[in-house]
Chains A and B, each alone.
Chain A
Amino acid sequence: MSDTVDNLLEVKNLVTAFRLENGDWVRAVDGISFHVPKGKTVGIVGESGCGKSVTAMSVVQLLPQPMGHILDGEVIFKGEDLRSASSERMHEVRGGEIGVIFQEPMMALNPCHRIGKQISESLILHRGMDKREALQESVSLLEKVGIPAPEKRVMEYPHQLSGGMRQRVVIAIALACKPDLLIADEPTTALDVTVQSQILELIEDLQEEMGMSTILITHDLGVIAGHCDEVVVMYAGRIVEHAPVNELYASPQHAYTKGLLSAIPTLATPRKAKLKTIEGQVASIKDFVPGCRFCQRMGRSGDTLLNRAPFIEISKNHWVEACPECVEHNEAK
């Protein structure tokens, strides 16, 4: 897409599919390409079921087995194609060079082990520390993510912590090995707004300090606006738009992006005014058309449903899936 030199991660034409019980395949991610520059934060935004999380899981090869498979495409991380990497190599990458934060901190932590042990695990595995060193490092990591009395907390179990504290522990684990890339999948969705802003600022501070890149997956356009450099908008397994954050909010090109942006009430929206909506809902994954799926939602018929529109650079670094029905001025390249 752009010059590869300063890209930490490049995803090219990725296709990830799931095998249903009846033997059919459904493509949850259907041919997407994007890149994450060094030190930058790329946001992936879209409604539930659009393939955001499957994209992230494909990068680190944590797809549910045996149903999930990457059928096509490349995932190039620091010049290495992770798709052809051995499972031993992937073990090194996950938790070492790529840290992952999941949405639900209670699911990501083992309820039977003390916090300290869970953080130590990756330190012992990836950084070759012994148990005592690892526990000491765990304490300083907990301190770094803003947990009070860390020497006491390392000896506690996940259920003894609040939701915000648990998410801080998950962040500490993800950052334990100073990863080059952090994938944060809805890191604050389960949390209150006040805690959300604490956690997002924490991630931002740590990112600056450690110079890592971040993929921030969320459905909240407010979170994206405040914390990302670039935005990838996904709809029904495809990327419909990709642009620098200011550009995307100032001049969204795809009808879906426009719809999303105008559907959220903000503090500036007049009270009780009719909100703009996007009619209908995402089609079931089994019924996806080969062409433009947003046209499908809008109930349009014709050629746009049959053939997929090209992904074009409409202005510098601003890419859009150029469906003639969904993108108004389509004169660019």
Chain B
Amino acid sequence: MPDPILELRDLKMHFPVRGGVMSRQINSVKAVDGVSLSIGHGETLGLVGESGCGKSTLGKSIVRLTRPTAGSVIFDGKDITHLSQSKLRPLRSNMQMVFQDPAESLNSRMSVGQIIAEPLEVQKIGTKATRRDTVEQLLERVGMPKSAAQRFSFEFSGGQRQRIGIARALALNPDMIVLDEPVSALDVSVQSQVLNLLLDLQSEYNMAYLFIAHDLAVVKHISDRVAVMYLGKIVELADADAIYQNPRHAYTKALISAIPEPDPMIERPRVHLEGEVPSPINPPEGSAFGHRINHPRYEETIGMDLSMVEIEKGHWVAADPCCLSKEDFTQVSSLS
């Protein structure tokens, strides 16, 4: 990719676990454990994985709501990993975030107008009057009546609240929006309205999206490329069509086969996946997924380099003997 808007290099986000008499750090939660990826201008990267795999933490460390433990976040050519809050503030206008639960992410003591104008006030853009105009334009753009500005967020339904959240993210005309499960809390008919809106806005303003979700059909629909995350690491990354038509990693295959297909005539081969994501406090030393499925080659993977390899043009997958077919693994080992 010639010109990424965002680049992550071996990003790690560990949280301390304290305990004992003096609340010493006794361990750490490795929520994000060495993630490297990039997002191009105007591109949508979908990020999928089960709960607890670190998707949301990754999203938050990108917009620097948390300070990464190691690695770097390069936004628009500038390393923002260790910038102070005051140095970050001007950059924040270029990257915004939309959260899963619009009821919790909108202040119920502020009117909708105040909520949407707040980023403009923080960045000292315009006067009160021009800000009011901007708010009205934004509300119209996301399909809400102008009169909504005087009302409160709790007066609206879930779908409308999510539109308000999107209007707030748009206020500063960002280059990138991190969308953390933006449609998971919505009903299907409203979900499709919001997805259509997001697609329209993207083609209009050429924004990049990091779209975090657990619904694989939704992710496939909106994304250009898709990254699959498992226990703090990306295990497969490819074009949205390629990853669904030709998944290489056993975890991706299992995730895809678990999607309930809304057609009773379709009988798909099911990959049974036992167990759940292990705790990120003491992750298995070798292949995390190999450990979950009790793979006979798990022992081999301890101490092995399981980082991603480009198996096909643009299709990256973790070089993990437990999770790839024999042919794929032979090919991958010859490449690395």
Contacts and interface: CB of A to CB of B under 8 A. Distances in A.
Contact of A197 (B218, B240, B258): B258
A93 B223 CA distance: 49
A264 B192 contact: yes
A47 B188 contact: yes
B220 A275 contact: no
A222 B192 contact: no
Given A162-B276, A269-B217, 4 more contacts: A264-B262, A267-B244, A272-B199, A277-B192
Contact of B259 (A263, A267, A277): A267
23 contacts: A48-B158, A162-B276, A165-B276, A192-B51, A193-B255, A194-B254, A225-B260, A225-B261, A225-B262, A264-B188, A264-B192, A264-B262, A265-B192, A265-B195, A265-B220, A267-B216, A267-B259, A267-B261, A271-B240, A271-B241, A277-B193, A281-B157, A281-B190
A57 interface: no
Given A48-B187, A192-B50, A197-B270, A271 B260 contact: no
B265 A275 contact: no
Nearest to A148: B275
Given A225-B262, A249-B263, A264-B217, A195 B192 contact: no
A260 B240 CA distance: 24
Given A225-B264, A264-B188, A275 B255 contact: no
A277 B274 CA distance: 36
B265 A193 contact: no
A64 interface: no
Contacts, number: 130
Interface of B: prevailing SS: helix
Contact of B260 (A165, A196, A265): A196
A271 B196 CA distance: 12
A297 to B, nearest CB: 9
Contacts of B51: 163, 192
Interface in A237-292: 245-246, 249-250, 259-261, 263-267, 269, 271-279, 281
B191 A222 contact: no
A219 B261 contact: no
B221 A269 contact: yes
Given A164-B276, A272-B199, A263 B189 contact: yes
A220 interface: yes
Contacts of A263: 188-189, 191-192
A218 B199 CA distance: 27
A91 to B, nearest CB: 35
B258 A261 contact: no
B324 interface: no
B159 interface: yes
A158 to B, nearest CB: 16
Interface string B240-267: 1100100000000011111111111110
A193 B261 contact: no
Contact of B192 (A165, A267, A276): A276
Contacts of B214: 192-193
Given A275-B192, A277-B189, A265 B265 contact: no
A39 to B, nearest CB: 18
A193 B276 CA distance: 11
> For chain A, which range describes its interface: under 10, 10 to 19, 20 to 34, or 35 or more residues?
35 or more
Contact of B221 (A162, A164, A194, A272): A272
A48 B221 CA distance: 23
Nearest to A200: B260
B201 interface: no
B125 interface: no
A273 B195 CA distance: 10
Interface in B189-226: 189-193, 195-196, 199, 214-218, 220-223
A195 B215 CA distance: 13
Nearest to A266: B217
B273 interface: yes
Contacts of B266: 225
A162 B240 CA distance: 31
In the A-B complex, list the 5 residue pairs whose CB atoms are closest, starting with the nearest: A222-B260, A265-B221, A278-B189, A275-B192, A47-B187
A276 B189 CA distance: 8
Interface in A195-236: 195-198, 200, 219-226
Interface string B269-294: 01011101000000000000000000
Nearest to A48: B187
A272 B222 contact: yes
A266 B254 contact: no
Contacts of A165: 276
B221 A260 contact: no
Contacts of A250: 265
B149 to A, nearest CB: 20
A17 B108 CA distance: 30
A8 B286 CA distance: 52
Given A265-B221, A267-B220, A267-B244, A195 B276 contact: yes
Contacts of B255: 193-194
A47 B158 CA distance: 12
B189 A259 contact: yes
Most chain A Cβ neighbours within 10 Å, of B157, B159, B196, B258: B258
Nearest to A274: B196
A255 to B, nearest CB: 12
B236 to A, nearest CB: 15
